[in-house]
């Protein structure tokens, strides 16, 4: 079989590339130069040389477009809450909190006790301190295991209590499963003051949408805010809502499916921010 000749389009692209390379400088552009180019702050000659290089260099044009993606956005107005941003900011603050003071060094760790080479002839003799340490380990090991068992038992009881709360719709679950097959939209779920946040997990019965968003409305149906950029993660959409960032008193959260056609309301849940109630 006769091999295929390059198509006209390939030849044409190659010809354009050669033409572009012929009039461009070879060295790549620095991010700062690209940022100045973006804002039109270069002198005309430099701007032209930057443009010529961009036309001939995929790497630099890709970098320019990435920098374009990093163009700052004006912060949201105070009366429009971007809940995802607020939640993420709280998480970030948690990560940036200064680490707790490290415990002060034990007074027994004096320099004189630093590991030193024992004198010849005594290297393999059991030292009294080693015997004491070994005995302590032997005594403490079972005690540690018992403590662990007690702690694990406590955690298990805690988890059981959380699970039993999940079954009751009016209780206060830290994780709220929203599944239209299991619960009625008429039920109202309370977010109690002691809970800093609530995790909403919507089970998806219809997975044909690419993106999802959560819209908040007052109890009377007046739109309040929205949380976009939610995705289908293995058949469910999860979102963490911080109580302080939520609308006050009773409100409605609607999960909206965003596809190529018009948005569709998939699930509705009524929530009550108990801390904000009079």
Q: Which residues bind other proteins (CB under 8 A)?
A: 2-9, 11-20, 30-32, 35-40, 47, 51-52, 54-56, 58, 61-62, 64-76, 85, 88-89, 91-92, 95-96, 229, 231, 233
**Shortest Å, Cβ 64 to other proteins:** 6
Nearer to other proteins, 89 or 130 (CB): 89
- Alpha-carbon distance of 114 to 128, in angstroms, equals 16
- Alpha-carbon distance of 87 to 236, in angstroms, equals 19
**Shortest Å, Cβ 26 to other proteins:** 17
- Alpha-carbon distance of 223 to 190, in angstroms, equals 20
Task: State residue 83 phi and psi, 5-degree precision.
Answer: -65, -35
Nearer to other proteins, 148 or 233 (CB): 233
Nearer to other proteins, 92 or 138 (CB): 92
Concatenating the DSSP letter of every residue in 1-45 gives -PPPPPPHHHHHHHHHHHHHHHTS-SSPPPHHHHHHHHTT-S-HH
Nearer to other proteins, 76 or 118 (CB): 76
Task: State residue 136 phi and psi, 5-degree precision.
Answer: -60, -45
Nearer to other proteins, 17 or 157 (CB): 17
Nearer to other proteins, 55 or 166 (CB): 55
**Shortest Å, Cβ 203 to other proteins:** 18
**Shortest Å, Cβ 6 to other proteins:** 7
- Alpha-carbon distance of 7 to 9, in angstroms, equals 5
**Shortest Å, Cβ 257 to other proteins:** 16
- Alpha-carbon distance of 38 to 70, in angstroms, equals 12
- Alpha-carbon distance of 265 to 136, in angstroms, equals 64
Are the C-beta atoms of residues 189 and 272 closer than 8 Å to each other?
A: yes
**Shortest Å, Cβ 31 to other proteins:** 4
58, exposed or middle or buried, with CB in 10 Å at 0-12, 13-18, 19+? exposed
**Shortest Å, Cβ 238 to other proteins:** 10
Nearer to other proteins, 59 or 264 (CB): 59
Residue 57 CA from chain centroid, whole number: 34
């Amino acid at each position: 079989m006769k091999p295929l000749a390059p198509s006209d389009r390939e030849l044409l692209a190659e010809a354009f590339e050669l033409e572009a390379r012929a009039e461009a400088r070879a060295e790549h552009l620095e991010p700062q130069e690209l940022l100045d180019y973006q804002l039109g702050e270069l002198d005309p000659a430099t701007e032209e040389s930057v443009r010529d290089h961009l036309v001939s260099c995929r790497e630099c044009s890709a970098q320019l477009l990435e920098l374009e993606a990093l163009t700052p956005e004006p912060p949201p107005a105070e009366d429009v809450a971007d809940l995802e941003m607020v939640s993420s900011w709280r998480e970030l603050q948690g990560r940036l909190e200064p680490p707790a003071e490290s415990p002060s060094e034990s007074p027994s760790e004096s320099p004189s006790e630093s590991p030193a080479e024992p004198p010849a002839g005594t290297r393999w003799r059991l030292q009294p301190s080693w015997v004491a340490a070994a005995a302590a380990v032997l005594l403490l090991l079972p005690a540690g295991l018992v403590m662990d068992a007690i702690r694990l038992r406590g955690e298990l009881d805690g988890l059981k209590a959380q699970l039993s709360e999940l079954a009751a719709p009016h209780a206060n679950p830290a994780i709220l499963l929203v599944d239209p097959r299991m619960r009625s939209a008429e039920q109202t779920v309370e977010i109690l003051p002691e809970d800093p946040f609530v995790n909403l997990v919507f089970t998806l019965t219809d997975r044909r949408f690419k993106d999802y968003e959560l819209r908040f409305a007052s109890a009377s149906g007046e739109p309040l805010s929205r949380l976009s950029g939610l995705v289908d993660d293995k058949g469910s959409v999860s979102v963490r809502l911080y109580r302080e960032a939520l609308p006050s008193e009773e409100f409605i959260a609607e999960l909206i499916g965003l596809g190529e056609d018009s948005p569709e309301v998939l699930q509705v849940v009524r929530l009550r921010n108990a801390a904000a109630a009079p």
